[in-house]
Structure 1
């Protein structure tokens, strides 16, 4: 099972592995905190490239349902590893950037296998039924989804899975982890700032919001869009933006205690976005339970957000608990073996209620 096979590596990477000392900071430094993410020497172009690559990868898989298109396995894998000769990118991305090598190491091959499976089973496109991969529509017929033989929607799990195993992991456990944040904060590289400033900026880049978010909501990507989507109920957009701005200003001023306060806030708030989004899709799949296509679509998204919860090194649920929820929904801890056709309405509500209790969302669980 994935859980047993990967637990040791996951724990090594995500818990207790960083032993670096903090630089001495000045006492009570005075500095200005701007209203937007407006600082000198900021560069997160690599993160912007990966957001674009993930968008194109998801869009390509969706073409099976929207255009009745068979997928080219070589192209999908080239999009994951950024082989520009085969990927067929619409955007202009740096050849040094890719999705695979920034994915949580233990899951890189899992995503490769899912992409290969999606390509193989698209060669003979049929109506999807339990035991048969293919395309299934919702009851109104206005939306269609490409799912595997067990009802997992390929495009949604690839997108949500990599939102967790790449974007969320890199932004929280990696760039805001001790090893990457306790680095040089004196030598300035023009256009990038100090090493500490640059790592903070790279974390911000994975969030996928403009520098004047939430006042400006144009061009939101992935986690940025879901932050806005949950903010109506949780009021989370401004506090998360404030934490990023406060922490970046504190780094430039050498105020490391405020920096650490901000990075804890970011990890807590971002986790709230993931958990509340999982609850949102549990509610949706329960409401649409009798609409099999819509149910499978929303369960696939919900499973992706639950899967994502493991990648925050400050996480509120351990890996066993996370995979127990996935198993409750699909009967397996192996993503590729989940059977979402067999998910019961009772299991959906049980998972929702567990998430609401663990992540302090009880009062919001029915409205999310």
Structure 2
């Protein structure tokens, strides 16, 4: 072995060793070597209005689509598939452009897409014990022939498939304080973090998933709303401080993702609790039956919207989503049978408790948490 070769080999070993040391230091930076972060008590609102202005056309399109779908809840009111699809695809900032491809396909599929099914049901009438061919209005809800409320599949599904999906896509590029503001806007919150969706008390209350977070939060400062408030403040502060604080940024972002998803699941559980309680109470009339079908459809919509969201952005798997949707009699890959909850209660009701147990297992909710999800704390506490 030549002397020059030995020198080169020794030099390579030194460089390799130095690289390993640097990598080790980088890994440890997230623990004892990282700088401390002084987290303020409030979210910095400077720039929020400007940074979120570009998001407003998207939200306007969402509200336009929801409003169009809700027209079908009126007896004799026809809603065209074309008008729904137009609200989804048109505008300065279309919903279609930021919705998961899977969910967009479920909305727009010819003949059996959510838009088509809602349109076919509109103008008709529905009765669970003698179902018409295409469905229709039952009390104040427009249901398809299987008792599934397509308006809720659309409205609640888009909260995950569009708003959450788009918020997460923003984190893939250059991460700035504007990104944080835009995520907060899509979440439905604002820098004041009111912990209330009550428009009677506030001119700009929480909405979308932030509004549901407020309903699930008992106001003690430890609930999901409060946890996400702290995570957003931490995220904003870390981004403001720069790359030396990236570990704090990444931890806060992970917390926001999980909390956002947990709030969605907690609201699904809330809907299931309410429908199961009515079923168990017995003495169902048409108003209660309609409410049950509405609640279960809403739960299915909330959950279905997370199907095919990228795996790095959610805890629940598509297979687990499919299991719960099947228990709700609203499977993703075949016709629903939601009506059976009110026509065959004795055999169907236990599916609802099984669905809650599945979600509890996925997210590790305690029994006390699952019980607390029965509440709308905004209403209970009049806040």
Using structure 2 for the length normalisation, give the TM-score: 0.73
- How far, CA to CA, are the matches of 2:120 and 2:36 in structure 1? 59
- How far, CA to CA, are the matches of 2:252 and 2:66 in structure 1? 32
Counterpart contact for 1:213–1:241, Cα < 8 Å: yes
**Residue 50 of structure 1: how far off its partner (Å):** 2.3
Q: Which residue of 2 aligns with 1:38?
A: 45
**Residue 104 of structure 1: how far off its partner (Å):** 0.6
Q: Which runs of 5+ in 1 are unaligned?
A: 1-23, 83-94, 138-143, 184-194
Q: Which residue of 2 aligns with 1:230?
A: 216
Q: Which residue of 1 aligns with 2:351?
A: 347
Give the SS at the match of 1:228: helix
Q: Which runs of 5+ in 2 are unaligned?
A: 1-28, 198-203, 342-347, 374-383
**Residue 333 of structure 1: how far off its partner (Å):** 3.0
Number of aligned residue pairs: give it. 311
- How far, CA to CA, are the matches of 1:270 and 1:231 in structure 2? 13
Q: Report whether the alignment pairs 1:114 with 2:114.
A: yes
Counterpart contact for 2:195–2:211, Cα < 8 Å: no
Q: Report whether the alignment pairs 1:358 with 2:357.
A: no
Counterpart contact for 1:135–1:147, Cα < 8 Å: yes
- How far, CA to CA, are the matches of 2:250 and 2:107 in structure 1? 33
Higher radius of gyration, 1 or 2 = 2
Alignment of 1:305-344 (within 5 A): 305-310=302-307, 311=309, 313-330=312-329, 332-334=331-333, 337-343=335-341, 344=348
For the structure 1 residues 259 and 35, does the alpha-carbon distance in structure 2 shift closer, same or farther, using more than 3 Å as the test?
Answer: same
Give the SS at the match of 1:158: helix
Q: Which residue of 2 aligns with 1:17?
A: none
Give the SS at the match of 2:141: strand
- How far, CA to CA, are the matches of 2:259 and 2:39 in structure 1? 23
- How far, CA to CA, are the matches of 2:46 and 2:232 in structure 1? 12
Q: Report whether the alignment pairs 1:285 with 2:287.
A: no
For the structure 1 residues 319 and 40, does the alpha-carbon distance in structure 2 shift closer, same or farther, using more than 3 Å as the test?
Answer: same
**Residue 56 of structure 1: how far off its partner (Å):** 2.7
Q: Report whether the alignment pairs 1:263 with 2:253.
A: yes
- How far, CA to CA, are the matches of 1:223 and 1:271 in structure 2? 9
**Residue 309 of structure 1: how far off its partner (Å):** 4.2
- How far, CA to CA, are the matches of 1:318 and 1:46 in structure 2? 32
**Residue 366 of structure 1: how far off its partner (Å):** 3.1
Q: Which residue of 1 aligns with 2:378?
A: none
Q: Which residue of 2 aligns with 1:213?
A: 193
Give the SS at the match of 2:137: strand
Q: Which residue of 2 aligns with 1:294?
A: 291
Cα deviation, 1:55-94, whole Å, max 9, x if unaligned, reads 2322222222236421133221111112xxxxxxxxxxxx
Counterpart contact for 2:156–2:298, Cα < 8 Å: yes
**Residue 160 of structure 1: how far off its partner (Å):** 0.8
Q: Which residue of 1 aligns with 2:170?
A: 175
**Residue 32 of structure 1: how far off its partner (Å):** 6.2
- How far, CA to CA, are the matches of 2:352 and 2:117 in structure 1? 27
Structure with more relative contact order (C-alpha pairs < 8 Å, separation 6 or more): 1
**Residue 156 of structure 1: how far off its partner (Å):** 1.0
Q: Report whether the alignment pairs 1:126 with 2:106.
A: no
- How far, CA to CA, are the matches of 1:32 and 1:350 in structure 2? 41
Using structure 1 for the length normalisation, give the TM-score: 0.76
For the structure 1 residues 271 and 62, does the alpha-carbon distance in structure 2 shift closer, same or farther, using more than 3 Å as the test?
Answer: same
